[in-house]
Structure 1
Amino acid sequence: MIVFFLGLGITVNAQNVIKDGKVYEVKGKSIFHKGEDITLSLLSGEKADIFKTHKNLVKEAKAAEKAKKRAEKATKNAEKAKKKAEKALKQKQKAQDQVNKASRKFDQQQDKYQKLKNSGKLSPNDDAKWFKKLNGYKNNLEKARTKLNRA
């Protein structure tokens, strides 16, 4: 980060300006051409034009940097949103899997209970135990459905 700002500072302080086919380098209040300080030899109008061009280049560079930062921030926010959506989808899939598993268990146990009941192999005590067991599976299914609705 420090290197970036140093580079930006050097770029801002030493900017090349092309005017009338000549390349001028502006450093602070001085104008250089081919490495020589020509600030005093230029007419005031030429100096003003070169400094004005330099100022516009600096403004454009700053605006470009701001746009780059905004784009980076937008990209970062988009990545965060994508990760959040992926996480939500994963949670929803997990919740759906839990509903499917609880539903399958409940149905299996209910079928088993019905077979035992129809064959007459259940005593009144066993019937009460099965009723309690089926209520537990039903409660698990309802909890799983509630989680799915929240996800």
Structure 2
Amino acid sequence: MKTKFITLLALISTSITIAQEQENATSTKENTVLTAEMIKRNDSIKAVKIAQLEVEKKQALQEKEEALKAKERAEKEKEKALKQEEKERKEIEKQKKEEEKDRKAALKNAEKERKAADKERKAAEKERKAAEKARKKAEKEQKKAEKLQSKIEKADDKVEKVHDKIDKKTKDLAETKSKMEKLDRKGKLSPNDKAKWLDKIAKKEQQLNDLNADLNKAQRNLERLK
């Protein structure tokens, strides 16, 4: 009886154990399925995250590449702008140099023209002064010649006048002598009258001598002027 009871207990225990094992097996199976689903779900989430990270990584790389390209374009544009600016600066500098060259050439030409004009003006002024000097000299020579001619004419006129006076005085002296001789031959002269006549004749002779002296002086002056 006891043995049967033990056996029964054993059977019951075994049944319970088997039932528990089956239950545990079922639970394990369910847990395994759940775990597999969770793992599968986690793997999906992980895959999504990985895919998202890949997308984000690719997007970041793309943005980085675009940023680099944009930077390169900006640098190229900057370099292009700098080259254009340098080109424009060189063009402006070249234009300034050409303008400065033209300005200097214009100044040089203007200075050359000014010097030429100044030279011509000086030459004209020199010619004018020379002409003025020649004119004044000619006027002076003319005045001198006119003055000399006037002196010659006056001297010549004086010589002629002295000649006339000498002729008149000679004639007058001859007439006085003739009158005195006639009166003396007729005996009409007293010694006192004769002395007066002789004194008169002597004075006229002295006057004639003075006139001859004046004539000699006038002739020498005329010869000196000629």
Q: Distance between the aligned counterparts of 2:120 and 2:141, measured in 1?
A: 31
1:87 aligns with 154
RCO higher in structure (CA 8 A, sep ≥6): 2
1:127 aligns with 194
Q: What TM-score results when the alignment is normalised by the length of structure 1?
A: 0.63
Question: Quick check: which has more Rg, 1 or 2?
Answer: 2
Spell out, residue by residue over 1:62-106, the C-alpha distance to the aligned partner (whole angstroms, 9 max, x if none). 222222221111111111111111111122122112111211111
Correspondence for 1:77 among 144, 149, 174: 144
Spell out, residue by residue over 1:33-52, the C-alpha distance to the aligned partner (whole angstroms, 9 max, x if none). xxxxxx85945444443333
Q: RMSD over aligned Cα, in angstroms?
A: 2.3
Q: Structure 1 112/63 Cα, relative in aligned 2: closer, same or farther at 3 Å?
A: same
Q: Does 1:66 align with 2:111?
A: no
Question: Where in structure 1 are there 5+ consecutive unaligned residues?
Answer: 1-38
Q: Structure 1 67/133 Cα, relative in aligned 2: closer, same or farther at 3 Å?
A: closer
Correspondence for 2:119 among 52, 56, 69: 52
Report the number of matched residues: 113
- Sequence identity, in percent? 40
Q: What TM-score results when the alignment is normalised by the length of structure 2?
A: 0.44
Q: Report deviation, 1:122.
A: 2.4
Q: Structure 1 69/116 Cα, relative in aligned 2: closer, same or farther at 3 Å?
A: same
Higher relative strand content: 1
Q: Structure 1 132/48 Cα, relative in aligned 2: closer, same or farther at 3 Å?
A: closer
Question: Where in structure 2 are there 5+ consecutive unaligned residues?
Answer: 1-105, 219-226
